[in-house]
Amino acid sequence: MVHLWGSKAKEETAMSKSALGESATGDVAVVLCGDKLDSNLVYLGCQMAKGAKRKVHLVHVIEVPRALPLKAVLTEESERADRLLTGALSIAERVGCLAVAEVVQARDAGPAIVDEARDHNCALILIGLVRNCQKAQYDLGKTVPYVLSNAPCRVWLVQDPANQSQSQQTQQQTVGVH
């Protein structure tokens, strides 16, 4: 195959660099929260980082209740984080991307994500949100607005629609059909 207007590798590198920002030199942070969207975010982040010859920081935040000390050992949450990050690292390995996994314990996820992006000089944060149709008014929660407002870099919010059965139940309840 002959590429007359440049090689595909050059195109992929140029796209990855433009996704990160015009003159950005940082890495990509991917926020894992255990949703069905996580593997897609990891794959996307790894593809962009690999094309731009950057590293991916896989971040999972464990929110510690205020009643407990910040360094409290939360066994169940730590095991869940380990499973999430192990799966994400295997995706990065398959893609051929250098990745670093981190578990952060914090009171609130938003400031922790922003601090991690700042500490690692990230050029992009990828964060996912699965829509919840059971709420009367669509709510972004508190983490996403905080990250969007305070991030030191670009933020890509990937929103996944609620699953079909959940969406249909909400529509039926709205119409009054049971």
CA gap 45, 93 in Å, rounded: 13
The pTM score is: 0.79
CA gap 39, 33 in Å, rounded: 11
What is the average pLDDT value for the chain, to the nearest integer?
83
- Nearest CA to 160 among 135, 134, 133, 128? 128
pLDDT tens track for 2-32:
444 555 555 555 555 555 655 567 999 999 9
Residue 171 confidence (pLDDT) = 44
- Tokens representing 12 are 């992929």
Residue 170 confidence (pLDDT) = 42
Q: Which residues of the chain have pLDDT under 70?
A: 1-24, 133-138, 163-178
